[in-house]
Structure 1
Amino acid sequence: MSDTPPLSQAVHNTTTRHAIFMVATLNAVAGAAETVRGWCEDVANLVRSVGTRAPEQNLSCVCAFGSSAWDALFGAPRPAALHPFREFGSGERVAVATPGDILLHIRADSMDLCFELATLLRNGLGDAVTVVDEIHGFRYFDRRAIIGFVDGTENPEGREAADFTVIGDEDAEFAGGSYVLVQKYLHDMTGWNALTVENQEGIIGRHKLSNVELGDDVKPSWSHSSLTTLEENGEEVKIVRDNMPFGRPGSGEFGTYFIGYARSPAPIEQMLENMFVGRPAGNYDRLLDYSRAVTGCLFFVPSADLLESLASREPAASEAAVAPSAAGAAA
């Protein structure tokens, strides 16, 4: 066996100017599983074919699978921490679970490359899947969210990014893989813009113009920054975010597509619990008074090597009968 670690997918690539997020569910049609498995072998080739036409545009694609889809398509063994999306919160403040079996996260510095690759990848899946969500994201000024604050400031970089996102010996059979959680948030921009800048800064926990974090003596414990900062044994636990704004001004739709990568779902789920339930309970993220989660899915990202080899992997007959998730039910 080679000592070379498996090659990861483009999990911690540099943030680009454009992205397409596509979530699909498996269809109960003859040959669907075989189509998807064969398609796995083509993903990297399609990325290369499109990307070499304009290498300076930094085209990449991450392909990931949900819990039920993994069982139906590939069977055992399965990634140790893969499970259905877990809902958090109650009433009008809920991190909802929604259907999702396959995720494509396509990035480039020009939308035409994203569009071309998304078209080719979608065509390759044929009637094996139904696309249930598709968002075209864009960089907004100096990497700001629609709400006007810089996004992703605390992302780890370089070797640290890999350490926080890439599975190692803790699940050796799936080394080089990652977990990714996605949510689509819609913002009440009328309500948000009615706030003073000072109030907005308290909710986020940062100065709006400079992006400098508020001091601990003035930053509220319910600020977004406070509740999404995690520590374990005195060290900060980080994830890699590559969120993108999206919107349709003519329809009054303004949002953020949250996408977080980690080597375990646990830190992202803890952040969501802190936001939607509170730390302590009731001390929730006040950004949620103006932002509503309308989707939620958890996926496993196989290493690039494993993704290609999945084309020849078939579950046992008893496992193959397991239907993919139709509702993304919470655990």
Structure 2
Amino acid sequence: MTSSMDTQTPEPQAICNPITSSAIFIVATLLPGSDAASQVRGWCGDIAALTRSVGKRVPNGNLSCVCGFSASAWDALFGSPRPASLHPFREFGVEGRRAVATPGDILLHIRADQMDLCFELATQLCSALNGAITVVDEVQGFRYFDMRSIIGFVDGTENPVGRKADHFTLIGNEDPAFESGSYVLVQKYLHKMEAWNALSVEAQEKVIGRTKLADIELGEEVKPSNSHSALTTITKDGQEQKILRDNMPFGRPGAGEFGTYFIGYARSPEPIEQMLENMFVGNPVGNYDRLLDFSTAVTGGLFFVPSADLLEELAEREPEQA
């Protein structure tokens, strides 16, 4: 007899958690060898416990961690079956305006309302992987005033909420072995702030497709077809396909570095990849996102986020030997 516990939907990772004021994004590559792979698998079973332990120190700090794996890492660590839509990051665009793919096997998205919580959890998680990974990118993000990006516009306004957030981000019966998992795509963008700030507010609004102060979408009669808003609105069969963004500003003013860390979750990579194609190639071709005249993507990676239940189970899974 099948118990009710056996038929419960797997618990997802903290994908749809409330937006926080701080975040750390870590992308790492897996070192070669069976020992490194075994160490990472064992670590999968410890992530939740480490997050709870650090989070207990500030109970209202909203600490969470989401962990994802690239296609090549999944094959090396866990073997078959692989999530149905997991594949290497697809590059889009032309020379000088390109969504680039960069190395990355493991993604950590650590969030909290205090940076010290993020920092401590990142320290514990990375220490547990010492000798098994190489960190290739690490970004500390922060909330900028009233949820604005470095370029001054509110970010994430069109995010789905509540049940719609679950619907658009969590895998269902289309891939039952990976139910409650998700796909996440990340890119690090650097902005040319002097050129951007040289634009008038009205010109900036036409680049974004929204008003700067009130965060209201421009009417179709005035919104340019190459605005960021126009090109990242995706419809399929007459229905808008939403993704969940948790972008964060980052930067080093003394070094003249000002950026946005883009992170988008969806139940399939398809809508995010369509957005990137529209932005970098254009829709139609050549009608590319005007924001890219002021922003350059310097990293890119696609990862699969297993459910929280599967993540713990992966600690015991080994790929079959060929």
Letter of the aligned partner of 1:51 in structure 2? Answer: G
Q: Give the C-alpha shift of residue 169 in structure 1.
A: 0.3
The alignment's C-alpha RMSD in Å is 0.6
Q: CA deviation at 1:166?
A: 0.2
The equivalent position to 1:204 in structure 2, one of 202, 208, 221, is 208
**What are structure 1's unaligned runs of at least 5 residues?**
319-331
1:151 matches 2:126: no
What residue ranges of structure 2 are gaps of 5+ in the alignment? none
Aligned to 2:28: 24
Q: Secondary structure at the match of 1:317?
A: coil
User: Aligned runs of 1:1-331 on 2, under 5 Å?
Assistant: 2-29=6-33, 31-318=35-322
> Which residue type is aligned with residue 262 of structure 2?
F
Q: Determine the C-alpha separation between the residues in 2 that align with 1:55 and 1:286.
A: 43
Q: Deviations over 1:270-322 (max 9, x none)?
A: 0000000000000000000000000000000000000000010000112xxxx
Q: Secondary structure at the match of 2:60?
A: helix
Percentage of matched positions with identical amino acids? 70
Distance (whole Å) between structure 2 residues aligned to residue 222 and residue 45 of structure 1: 46
- CA–CA separation in structure 2 for the residues paired with 1:55 and 1:301: 25
The AA in structure 2 aligned to 1:18 is S
What is the distance in 1 between the residues matched to 2:171 and 2:56? Answer: 29
Aligned residues: 318
**Partner of 1:170: helix, strand, or coil?**
coil
CA positional deviation for 1:233: 1.6
TM-score normalised by structure 2 residue count: 0.98
User: How far has the Cα of 1:79 moved from its partner?
Assistant: 0.2
Aligned-partner Cα distance in 1 for 2:64–2:189: 24
Q: Which amino acid aligns with 1:56?
A: N
Q: Which residue type is aligned with residue 110 of structure 2?
A: I
**Alpha-carbon distance between aligned partners in 2 of 1:170 and 1:281, rounded to the nearest angstrom:** 32
Aligned equivalents of 2:241, 2:86: Cα separation in 1: 19
Q: How far off is 1:87 after superposition?
A: 0.0
Q: Which amino acid aligns with 1:175?
A: E
* SS class of match (1:245): strand
CA offsets per residue over residues 76-112 of structure 1, 9 Å max, x none?
A: 0110000000000011000000000000000000000
Shift of residue 29, structure 1, vs aligned partner: 4.1
How high is the TM-score relative to the length of structure 1?
A: 0.95
Runs of 4+ in 1 over 4 A off after TM superposition: none
The answer for the alignment partner of 1:325 in structure 2 is none
Give CA deviations for 1:161-210 in whole Å, capped at 9, x if unaligned: 00000000000000010000000000000000000111000000000000
Query: SS of 1:163's equivalent?
Result: helix
